[in-house]
């Protein structure tokens, strides 16, 4: 005897996940969108201002600069990350010596906490105390502002993002390649 129909079983099974998804993703996003139509400093009462905040974005040079930097980071990261991680997965698919060590070295940055990744790369790319400038300046290369400048910062951020996520992307490609027959 069937106690509950199959549709009810599916609905009951999905309900906890839907409640969690709504409570921790949908509600905060809608709440933030609601606040975007107000003038709110974090304390006190919020005053409704309509589209004034969005209209102010067009005149804000920092918005356009951050949008440009975001597009640069996205394009550079995707243009390098996808082919490089797929190439590494193809390389690791071959049963070569040291494949496990290479896999561990490439995947290592994916398990490091993002705050540590930031600290590591600050010590490498900082214009004053960075390891990269300390190695290049004695070779006659002028001091370069890798981070904090106007031109190289989005590319440096792209490099850090690629370094930290190439192992995860390679693992996904590697798992997919394992499903393919060798022929």
Is the CATH code 1.10.3720.10 the one for domain 61-183?
yes
- Split at pLDDT 50, 70, 90, the class of 1 is very low
Domain ranges of the chain: 1-59, 61-183
Q: Annotate 63-113 with DSSP letters as a single string.
A: HHHHHHHHHHHHHHHHHHHHHHHHHHHHHHHS--TTHHHHHHHHHGGGGS-
CB-based contact 76:155 (threshold 8 Å): yes
CA dist 76 and 68 (Å) reads: 12
pTM for the whole structure? 0.76
- Split at pLDDT 50, 70, 90, the class of 4 is low
Instruction: Flag whether pLDDT at 5 surpasses 80.
Output: no
CA dist 77 and 108 (Å) reads: 19
Q: What is the pLDDT of residue 173?
A: 95
In this predicted structure, which of 5-9, 96-100, 107-111, 155-159 has the lowest mean pLDDT? 96-100
CB-based contact 108:98 (threshold 8 Å): no
Over the stretch 66-118, which tens digit does the pLDDT of each residue have? 999 999 999 999 999 999 999 999 988 887 777 778 888 888 888 888 899 99
């Amino acid at each position: 005897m069937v106690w509950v129909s199959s549709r009810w079983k599916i609905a009951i099974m999905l309900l906890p996940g839907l409640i969690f998804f709504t409570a921790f993703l949908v509600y905060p996003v809608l709440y933030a969108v609601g606040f975007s139509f107000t003038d709110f400093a974090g304390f006190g009462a919020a005053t409704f201002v309509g589209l004034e905040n969005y209209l102010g974005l067009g005149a804000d040079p920092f918005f356009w600069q951050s949008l440009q930097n975001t597009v640069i980071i996205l394009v550079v990261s995707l243009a390098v990350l996808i082919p490089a991680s797929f190439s590494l997965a193809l390389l690791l698919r071959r049963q070569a010596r040291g494949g496990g060590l290479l896999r561990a070295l490439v995947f290592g940055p994916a398990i490091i906490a993002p705050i540590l990744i930031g600290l590591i790369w600050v010590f490498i790319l900082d214009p004053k105390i960075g390891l990269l400038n300390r190695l290049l300046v004695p070779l006659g290369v002028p001091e370069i502002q890798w981070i904090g400048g106007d031109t190289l910062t989005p590319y440096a951020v792209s490099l850090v993002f690629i370094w930290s996520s190439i192992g995860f992307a390679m693992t996904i490609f590697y798992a997919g390649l394992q499903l393919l027959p060798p022929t």
